[in-house]
Amino acid sequence: MDDKEEYEISIHKESLNEWLVGTAANYYHYSRKIGVSNDVTHPLYEAQVELYALKREIENATTMEELNGIRDKAFEYNHKLADIKNKEPLEK
């Protein structure tokens, strides 16, 4: 791997990591708003945990292909969270 490729991977990792943490944080705040942030059985909590688990995968990724696969998984989880959010009442 050359320096340019290494640099591109590090930038992609950083960007993906920031997006991932921001997305999970947004849903955590939403889960607090509806009163389920401590409910480990709630689908919002479970999906947030799945998003944070991807952080480890990002750290261990060594190729753009791996990072793109992680990005695709993160988007799937984000859609899952959005679906859950759209089904939840604003107050519990």
* Burial track 20-31 (b if 16+ CB lie within 10 A, e otherwise): beebbeebbebb
Residue 92 lies in a domain: no
- Confidence band of 88 (pLDDT split at 50, 70, 90): low
Query: How many structural domains comprise the chain?
Result: 1
- Kindly give, in sequence order, each residue whose CB lies less than 8 Å from that of residue 5, ignoring residues fewer than 6 positions away: 64
Q: Give pLDDT, residue 91.
A: 53
Residue 9 domain boundaries: 3-87
* Burial track 38-59 (b if 16+ CB lie within 10 A, e otherwise): eeeebbbbebbebbeebbebbe
Distance CA 42, CA 69 (A): 26
pLDDT digits (tens, 9 = 90+) for 1-59: 789 999 999 999 999 999 888 888 888 888 888 888 888 888 888 887 888 888 899 99
Residue 73 lies in a domain: yes
Answer yes or no: pTM beyond 0.85: no
- Confidence band of 72 (pLDDT split at 50, 70, 90): very high
